[in-house]
Structure 1
Amino acid sequence: MGHLRSAGRWARGLVALTVTAASTLAAITAVAGPAAAGQLKPAITAGKPKLGDVCTSADLGTRHPIIKSADVAPTVTHFKGWYVTEGSTGNQSVNTNTTETISVSVGLNGTVQGSFAVETLGSVGASLGLNVQVNYTSTSSTSTSVTWNFRTPGYYGLYKGTKKVTGTYGSLNCNRVQQGDGSWALKWTEGPDSGSYTTFTTLEEGAVRCEDKVPANSIMAKAQGLLDCGSPAATAKQPAGPVPSAKADRAKHDADNAAKAAKSVKATQAAKPAPRAALNCQSGVYRIHVPGKPLNWSAPLLANDGIRLRESNWTSAHLDNWRLCNVTERNGVIEASLWNWGNGGCATIPADIANREQAYLTTATCAEDDLQRFYFYRDVPGSSKIGLQNKYTGSMLGHDRYADGELIRQYSSGRQDGTGTYTLTAV
């Protein structure tokens, strides 16, 4: 007979997600994985855009997530094989070993930053019909105990586990679209940026034996698979206490090796210097204005400062003049680097704060680096209004308030009040 219970202390902080909208989910099914894959289902949320909906120029600087795939895999995070003899039944506390640590993350940053990440995970939960973690947390990476009432002697697997949810997402961005009659309109389209996410459901803990009949593709079944039920340890009479488990030890060994490999790759990537880039810039020179206002983007005078809103010609150094360089276009979305005439640097999000919501925009030596690449979303022809998105972080650019000296910053979902919409004005 199998046993399980929900670890109540882990349930705290989970968001009970109501059925929400997401247009494109109706026709998408989850990607099959090693365990049971989650079935994405359509959801409806008032006020959330869907692919093909009409948008306005105020939406040029905003974005919303779309869930492209999801995989739900029952996962054992802690395990211990335990032999119970006659006379040793009753309540016992057993220390389990970590077999896998799951951390909640969205995108490249290994964490959950900003409203876009929370909205992404909320959409995942609503689409799968699961309560998932929507804020940064992780399962325990250290040994934890399971207290259990053993009623009969036997060979048990004590475990803690959860449903690990992974997948990919894209984004909806407002951009101009040419219609069948040749006219233009602003609509929500799928943007070029995408990424992956990881989250998990409520943790369970329990005990299971080799002879128990358990549901397929369940957390309990995963734990039973770690018991080495065909081994001599499972059938021989043993003293009460821990039983060696080759599968559990191997799972922990594999998890440790994967973590070490990921750390090594990250260290190697961090050690590579950014190459110097030879830019191919267009001849046009532009100011990036706040629509209908006199303030525009101006590069910093000091290396440790950021790009700020300033009045045109506040200096004679052309710090408010920009060129578009290494320009490409795909599906109506321009990708370019922004080179500043005044200081010769390229607009960038500083690498050491790129994972932060509201990280400021600055300039640096031009390099072939996605932190220096930006997507431009445009209004219909005849309008110079644009929205800008950093290619590496996926965040939209905007400002907190309209004021001289205000920094330009990144916002994961953009500025919903329209302050992420600018005009690209030829000088």
Structure 2
Amino acid sequence: MAVTATAAAWAIAAVGLAASPAAAAPADTTAPQPGDTCTVADLGTRHPYIKTTEVSPEITHFKGWFVTQGTTGNQSVTTSTQTTISVSVGLNGTVQGSFGTEALGKVSASLGLNVQVNYTSTSSESSTVTWNFAQPGYYGVYKGTKKVTGTYGSLNCNRVQQGDGGWALNWIEGPGSGGFTTYTTLEEGAVRCQDAVPANSIMAKAKVLLDCGSPTAKAEHPAGAVAPTAKQTQDRPAQDPAPTGGVTSAGQLKAAGDSSRAVALNCEPGAYRMDVPGKILNWSAPLLANDGIRLRESTFFSAHLDNWRLCNVTENNGVLEASLWNWGNGGCATIPAGIANQEQAYLTTVNCGEDDLQRFYIYRDVPGSSKVGVQNKYTGSMLGYDRYADGELIRQYSSGRQDGTGTFTMTGV
């Protein structure tokens, strides 16, 4: 973007406001907080909450530029890439689904900054800045932003015992957490060694890169580019390739369902159907390879494909963790590794192994009710379905299904 500075604009740039970001969105006062009440429909959903944040100025493009008397005025300067910042939430190196977008929206509201809430990245290519150089001097011409990083946790709905011995459904801190990276609106400008700039501003970071030395030495350069100083070269990080946002290969994620080796499971007695509450359809394991777990009706000919056992069960703060072993085909439920980073990846079964993609958290309604929500341990996504229909695949959704279609009934058989 070309920018031409008038005298007034130069005064603004001198205090680090070459381009001001837009106002941040107001905080969402309806977002659940730990300890708030939830409903049965929330068992299959989750929401992010922000645990830590850090804001730091970053220079994405930079060039040292010397302006002599008689060469002032508008000049176009081609800057070189200093660093590339990519927006990401969690393990995918991108932003997948509504959970990531909601998390970054909460970052924006909590900090009062307008941050990127969808996958994007700063340019890895050289970039031109057009600036009106009003006075001779040694300048740092730059593009930059405020990089925002931090960690988030997951709020899940689960039963909690009250002080009087009763039970209620509350939003709790669910297992697992992750990190995020985003950035604010890009700014561009030019700064001289003698300019006074606000501490911890983007312009101040550019002035550090300028590495102001002897004015006499700088004056030896003709008008135009100045070679990078040792300070600039030292501070320039190795450029990370921008994520493609495509499917992560199985080698980049934990391998799931290694068919070469099955493991023995310690399964609890009895089996369950994973029913749609008040409906006739339930989870049914596939008979064919490469097919997924689908909603089907239980019949005499189901051959136990709709019966599931809980294996290697542990419990932490009222949340069950288990592998789901199918009585009909002898496989364990899993999210396929090759598509595990995708929103709406389907659930299937493979040979049972020691793999977090085959482990699930089960959030339960109050005692006396068999309603549950199910979450994959590795991806953090909740399980549900797009519509109630025979043959519909069970899929993962980063925030769950907000219409209640992620709540199931774990019915003993």
* Fold shared by both chains (TM-score > 0.5): yes
CA RMSD of aligned residues (A): 2.3
**Cα shift at 1:75:** 0.7
> Aligned pair in 2 of structure 1 residues 201, 369: CA closer, same or farther (>3 Å)?
same
Tell me the distance in 2 between the aligned counterparts of 1:380 and 1:130: 40
Question: What residue ranges of structure 2 are gaps of 5+ in the alignment?
Answer: 1-10, 243-247
Which residue of the partner structure matches residue 125 of structure 2?
142
Determine the C-alpha separation between the residues in 1 that align with 2:283 and 2:250.
35
2:337 is equivalent to residue 355 of structure 1: no
**2:26 match:** 18
1:346-390 deviations in whole A, cap 9, x for unaligned? 111112222222111111222222211111000111111100011
TM-score under structure 2 length normalisation: 0.89
Change (3 A) 1:395 1:233: farther
Matched position secondary structure for 2:123: coil
Listed one character per residue, the Cα deviations across residues 227-286 of structure 1 (whole Å, up to 9, x for unaligned) are 12136886442111211222322333x323x669xxxxx999539865643322222211
Q: Which amino acid aligns with 2:73?
A: G
Which secondary structure does the structure 2 equivalent of 1:270 belong to?
coil
SS where residue 165 of structure 1 aligns?
strand
**What is the rounded CA distance, in whole Å, between the counterparts of 2:298 and 2:215 in structure 1?**
81
- Equivalent residue for 2:252, pick from 257, 263, 270: 270
- Correspondences of 1:393-408 after superposition (within 5 Å): 393-408=379-394
Q: What SS does the aligned partner of 1:224 have?
A: helix
Residue from 223, 231, 256 that aligns with 1:247:
231
- Mapping for residues 58-207 of structure 1, pairs under 5 Å: 58-207=41-190
CA contact 1:357–1:412 (8 Å) conserved in 2: yes
Could you list the runs of 5+ residues in structure 1 that have no partner in the other structure?
Answer: 21-44, 261-265
Q: Is the 8 A contact 1:100 1:141 kept in 2?
A: yes
**Aligned pair in 2 of structure 1 residues 271, 166: CA closer, same or farther (>3 Å)?**
closer
Contact 2:255/2:337 (8 A) holds in 1: no
Matched-pair identity in %: 73
2:249 touches 2:338 (CA, 8 Å); kept in 1? no
Is the contact between residue 85 and residue 239 of structure 1 (CA under 8 Å) also seen in structure 2? yes
1:183-231 deviations in whole A, cap 9, x for unaligned?
Answer: 1111111111211111111110000111111100000000000112136
Distance 1:282 1:233 in 2: 81
Distance 1:268 1:366, change over 3 A: closer
Task: Tell me how far apart the structure 2 counterparts of residues 66 and 271 of structure 1 sit (CA, whole Å).
Answer: 25
CA contact (8 A) 2:250 2:337 kept: no
2:294 is aligned with 1:286: no
Q: 3-state DSSP class of the match of 2:113? A: coil
TM-score by length of 1: 0.86
Spell out, residue by residue over 1:297-355, the C-alpha distance to the aligned partner (whole angstroms, 9 max, x if none): 01111111110001113634321111112211111111111111222211111122222
Q: Is the CA contact 1:233–1:243 (under 8 Å) kept in the aligned structure 2?
A: no
1:301-312 matches, within 5 Å, as 301-312=287-298
Give the alignment of 1:307-322 within 5 angstroms. Answer: 307-313=293-299, 315-322=301-308
Structure 2 distance, partners of 1:326, 1:131, is 45
